[in-house]
C-alpha cells in the first residue's frame, strides 16, 4: 500500500489517512511520528518508508549506549540522511562524525549512498586494534 | 570462533570471539610449517600493563567481524602479490585479553628469510590501520 506523506506544516488535521496495521506498527516501532493527511497540506506520493538497522561499534556504542537501533526512514533516503537522524537523536555522535566511516551491508560506502529496506548500516569509528 | 580460509588454501585466518582461552600460538605456527620453507616468522601483539597513566589489568576487543574477515583476507592476498609466500596465518582475539596475553598473532612462512620477516611486518601494519577492530581500556 502506498503511504501518503505530507510535507511538514502546522495544520489542523481534517482527516486521518488510512493505513495498514503493519505500517502503523512499523512506524511506532521506528519511533517515527506518522504524518497525517490534511486537506490543506501539499502531498506527495513517495512510497513506503524503509527500515534500516544501524550498528554501533566502539566509541559509537559508548556515545549512544546502544549496540544497534532500527530506524524508519523515508524512501530514497541516503546514508547521510540516516546520519542526520542519528545525530539529532544522539548529539554526542558529533564527536566522531568527521573521523568515522560507514559500511552498508558489510561494504564501505560514501554518505551519498541511497538506502533500501532492511539495509544494515554500520558506524565505524577510528580503528584501534591489532 | 570465526574461521575463514584466504583466497589461497594455505592461509588460515581466525577471529576468536568470546573465547576465554588465550590464542593457541602453536596452532598457527604449525599451520605455516612445511619442510619446503626455509624460514618462519611470527608477530605476537601483547597487552602491556600501562596506558598513559592508567594501570591496565586487561583489554577488551571488539570487531565488525564480517568486514574484519574480508579485510584480513585481502591483506593476505596483497601480501602474496608483494612477496610470494608459502603460508600465512592470522588470529585476532576478541573479548577480554589479560596482561601479557596475545591479542593478535601473525605467522608467515616463505622460502627467503628476509621476505618472511617483511610478510609479518606488512600483515600487522595493515591490520592496525584498516581492519575494524577496536580495543577498550
Write out chain B residues lying below 8 Å of A127, CB-based.
128-134
Q: What is the residue-averaged pLDDT of chain A? A: 75
Q: Which of B67, B70, B135 sits opposite A128 (nearest CB)?
A: B135
Residue B131 in contact with partner chain A when CB distance is under 8 A: yes
What pLDDT sits at residue A122? 97
Containing structural domain, residue B46 = 2-100+114-136
The Cβ of residue B127 has, within 10 Å, a number of other Cβ atoms equal to 23
Distance CA A113, CA A119 (A): 11
Enumerate the domain spans of chain A.
Answer: 10-124
In a domain, B107, yes or no: no
> Which one is the CATH code of A10-124: 3.40.50.150, 3.10.20.30, 3.40.50.300, 3.20.20.210?
3.10.20.30
- State how far residue A16 is from chain B, nearest Cα, in angstroms: 43
Contact A50, A119 (CB under 8 A): yes
Examine residue B105 and state whether it is found in any structural domain, yes or no.
no
Contacts of B66 in chain A (CB under 8 A): 106
- What confidence tier does A130 reach under pLDDT thresholds 50, 70, 90? low
Residue B5, CA distances (Å) to A17, A52, B57, B131 in order: 54, 31, 33, 17
Nearest CA in chain B to A123: B64
Annotate B29-57 with DSSP letters as a single string.
HHHH--TT-SEEEEEEEE--SEETTEEPS
CB–CB contact B103 A130 (8 Å) = yes
Question: Could you tell me if residue B29 is inside a domain?
Answer: yes
Residue A125 above 90 pLDDT? yes
Partner-chain contact A127 B129, CB within 8 Å = yes
Helix axes B113-130, B65-82, angle to 10 degrees: 150
Residue A120 above 90 pLDDT?
yes
A57 contacts on B by Cβ (under 8 Å): 62, 64, 132, 134
Tell me the pLDDT of chain B (137 aa) as tens digits.
665 555 456 789 999 987 678 899 999 999 998 887 778 899 998 876 666 677 767 788 899 999 999 999 998 888 877 777 678 999 999 878 887 788 999 999 887 777 778 878 888 888 888 899 998 76
Q: How many residues does chain B have?
A: 137
Residue A57 has pLDDT above 50, yes or no: yes
* Chain A residues with CB-CB distance to B129 below 8 A: 127
> Residues A93, A63: contact at Cβ < 8 Å?
yes
CATH number at residue B15: 3.90.1170.40
In a domain, B109, yes or no: no
Residue A97 φ then ψ, to 5°: -55, -40
Q: Do A130 and B62 touch (CB under 8 A)?
A: no
Residue B106: inside a domain, yes or no?
no
A60-93 pLDDT per residue, tens? 999 999 999 999 999 999 999 999 999 999 999 9
- Tally of structural domains, chain B: 1
Residue B41 lies in a domain: yes
ipTM rounded to 2 decimals: 0.79
| B55 in a structural domain | yes
- The span from the CA of B18 to the CA of B65, in Å, is 12
Gap from A40 CA to chain B (nearest CA, Å): 48
**A129 close to B61: Cβ distance less than 8 angstroms:** yes
Q: What local confidence, expressed as pLDDT, does residue A66 receive?
A: 97
Amino acid at each position: 500500500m502506498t503511504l501518503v506523506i505530507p510535507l511538514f506544516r502546522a495544520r489542523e488535521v481534517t482527516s486521518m489517512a488510512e493505513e495498514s496495521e503493519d505500517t502503523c506498527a512499523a512506524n511506532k516501532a521506528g519511533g517515527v511520528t506518522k504524518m497525517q493527511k490534511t486537506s490543506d497540506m501539499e502531498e506527495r506520493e513517495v512510497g513506503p518508508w524503509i527500515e534500516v538497522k544501524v550498528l554501533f561499534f566502539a566509541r559509537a556504542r559508548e556515545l549512544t549506549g546502544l549496540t544497534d537501533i532500527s530506524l524508519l526512514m523515508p524512501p530514497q533516503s541516503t546514508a547521510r540522511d540516516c546520519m542526520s537522524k542519528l545525530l539529532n537523536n544522539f548529539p554526542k555522535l558529533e564527536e566522531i562524525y568527521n573521523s568515522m566511516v560507514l559500511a552498508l551491508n558489510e561494504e564501505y560506502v560514501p554518505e551519498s549512498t541511497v538506502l533500501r529496506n532492511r539495509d544494515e548500516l554500520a558506524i565505524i569509528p577510528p580503528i584501534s586494534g591489532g | 570462533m570465526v574461521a575463514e580460509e584466504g583466497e589461497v588454501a594455505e592461509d588460515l585466518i581466525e577471529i576468536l570471539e568470546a573465547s576465554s582461552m588465550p590464542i593457541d600460538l602453536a596452532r598457527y605456527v604449525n599451520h605455516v610449517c612445511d619442510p619446503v620453507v626455509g624460514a618462519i616468522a611470527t608477530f605476537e601483539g601483547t597487552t602491556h600493563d600501562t596506558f598513559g597513566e592508567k594501570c591496565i589489568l586487561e583489554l577488551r576487543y571488539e570487531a565488525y567481524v564480517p568486514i574484519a574477515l574480508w579485510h584480513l583476507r585481502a591483506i593476505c592476498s596483497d601480501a602474496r602479490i608483494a612477496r610470494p609466500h608459502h603460508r600465512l596465518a592470522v588470529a585476532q582475539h576478541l573479548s577480554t585479553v589479560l596482561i601479557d596475553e596475545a591479542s593478535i598473532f601473525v605467522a608467515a612462512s616463505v622460502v627467503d628469510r628476509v621476505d618472511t620477516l617483511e610478510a609479518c611486518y606488512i600483515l600487522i601494519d595493515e591490520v592496525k590501520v584498516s581492519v575494524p577492530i577496536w580495543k577498550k581500556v
